[in-house]
Amino acid sequence: VTGDDRADEALGLMSALAAGDRSALARLISLYGTGIRVFATHQLGDAAEAEDVSQEVFLRVWSEARRYDPARAAVSTWVWRIAANLCADRRRRRMVRRFLGLDSPPDAALAADDAPGAERIVAGRQRMELLTAALAALPDRQRKALLMRTAGGLGTSEIAGALGLSVGAAEQLLVRGRTALRRTMGDIDDD
């Protein structure tokens, strides 16, 4: 499925969503759900919280479908902007709760064990943990841009729209993010 095919299908699904078709929502989840869950997991560093936010994203898509204007943004841009905003809100609230002593920092090992596919082989697990740490060490906007590209399959203009940046600025974030990640991980495409 190409990006254009996906964009066309998503546009049709938005019309169906606005008319109250729940099967269209299920299809939209199959288009964007995986990427958004990966994005939320690496933005929040907590699998359970990421799952909850991913659900919130699609509930928000459902409730706001009638307000979607195709002239203003692609469906992917709109959905990913909702995801980025909800993750930012959740991080902000968590910081306040931790500041007030209502929450404690998550146990990193426990969070990793709770992630889907916890039974993966040790080498793969170590590599994934290294990748998670490398992504976490990136500046926030570089991480967002890189996750949107790699996990979500978004084009540079879609990323720019979702993050409220120019296309050039989004491209720069991607280049810098890749450079930093290669420095930590090596060329992960050499396998």
What are the residues binding other proteins (CB under 8 A)?
A: 22, 25-26, 29-30, 33-35, 37-38, 41-42, 51, 54-55, 58-59, 62, 115-117, 120, 127-128, 131, 146-147, 149-151, 153, 168, 171-172, 174-176, 178-179, 181-182, 187-189, 191
| Residue closer to other proteins, measured from CB, 35 or 161 | 35
User: How many of the other CB atoms lie within 10 Å of CB of 112?
Assistant: 15
Residue 74: CB minimum distance to other proteins, A: 19
DSSP secondary structure letters along the chain: --HHHHHHHHHHHHHHHHTT-HHHHHHHHHHHHHHHHHHHHHHHS-HHHHHHHHHHHHHHHHHHGGG--TTT--HHHHHHHHHHHHHHHHHHHHHHHHHTTSS----HHHHHHHSTTTT--HHHHHHHHHHHHHHHHS-HHHHHHHHHHHTT---HHHHHHHHT--HHHHHHHHHHHHHHHHHHH--GGG-
Question: Minimal distance in Å, beta carbon 142 to other proteins?
Answer: 11
Return the number of the residue (98 or 186) whose C-beta is nearest other proteins.
186
Q: Which is nearer to other proteins, 85 or 96 (CB)?
A: 85
Give the chain's largest Cα–Cα span.
48
CB of 55: closest distance to other proteins in angstroms? 5
The Cα–Cα gap between 94 and 49 comes to 11
Q: Which is nearer to other proteins, 26 or 137 (CB)?
A: 26
Least distance in angstroms from the C-beta of 122 to other proteins? 15
Nearer to other proteins, 58 or 78 (CB): 58
* Distance of closest approach, residue 11 Cβ to other proteins, in angstroms: 20
Residue closer to other proteins by CB (options 104, 110) is 110
Question: Cβ–Cβ contacts within 10 Å for residue 166, how many?
Answer: 11
CB of 104 to other proteins, least distance (A): 25
